[in-house]
Structure 1
Amino acid sequence: MPQLGPVNWLFVYLCFWFVIFLISVVFWWVSSNHFHLSDSASKKSSLDETGSKAVSFFWKW
């Protein structure tokens, strides 16, 4: 285990949580759009609907 300074540890910690955040966002996006994969014509409307759901969710907080 190499000796890391406090700045390097902070960088590793932030990267670790950023990767977890990205993975969770990708899984959420795939699961929310899984039902709309069959009809690609309504892909735009489903994306808009997902965006409005996210906006309304954050607006409640």
Structure 2
Amino acid sequence: MKHILRDFAFSENGAVTVDWVVLTAGMAFMGFVAAASVWDGAAHIGSTIDNDVTAIKIEKSFK
């Protein structure tokens, strides 16, 4: 398997270059989609935490 990957990585044929570009673009796109889904979830959690912390009442004197 390592031999196949090494040959693929060092091949200078045009078809392999096109394959490499397509694979790299696909990986970049999947990373973007994953980051976008995490971003939405993190924004929602952050908003929830902000609301909860803002609602806390702090007393300045002890009873």
Question: TM-score when scaled to structure 2?
Answer: 0.51
User: SS of the counterpart of 1:37?
Assistant: helix
Give the AA of the match of 2:38: V
Identity value in percent: 11
Q: Alpha carbon RMSD of aligned pairs, Å? A: 1.8
1:33 Cα offset (Å): 2.0
Kindly provide the CA deviation profile for residues 20-55 of structure 1, in whole angstroms up to 9, marking residues without a partner as x.
000100101111221111427xxxxxxxxxxxxxxx
- In 2, the alpha carbon distance for the partners of 1:26 and 1:37 equals 16
Structure 2 unmatched runs, 5+: 1-16, 55-63
Aligned to 1:27: 40
How many pairs were matched up?
37
Q: Which has the higher contact order (CA 8 A, sep 6+)?
A: 1
Q: Which residues in structure 2 correspond to 1:42-61 (within 5 Å)?
A: none
Aligned to 1:5: 18
1:15 to 28, 40, 47: 28
Question: TM-score when scaled to structure 1?
Answer: 0.52
